[in-house]
Amino acid sequence: MLEITLDKLPIGQEGIIQTVGGEGILRRRLLDMGLTPRTRVIVRKRAPLGDPLEIYIRRYELTLRASEASKITVLVEAEEA
């Protein structure tokens, strides 16, 4: 298992959220959107310049800025990363 930030997760790869960083309102907003520890997440696609990225979590698509995704640590299988 390998721990990386969500913004570094390749398209089509799945990970399990380990930690949600950030402070104050940003962290609260991420948690309110369903980005909670032990939740599976898949990166669906990225904008041409890499920001924002679309993820699939809890049966819905969510778009995040790369700066927000960099605050989330995910666990992935070593051979997938």
pLDDT tens digit sequence for 38-61: 999 999 999 998 789 999 999 999
- One CATH from 1.10.10.60, 2.40.50.180, 3.40.50.150, 2.30.30.90 for 2-76: 2.30.30.90
The domain limits of the chain are 2-76
| Residue 34 Ramachandran class (φ > 0 left, ψ -120 to 50 alpha, else beta) | left
How distant is the alpha carbon of residue 45 from its chain centre? 12
In the predicted model, what is the mean pLDDT of the chain? 91
pTM: 0.86
**How many Cβ atoms are within 10 Å of 13's Cβ, its own excluded?**
16
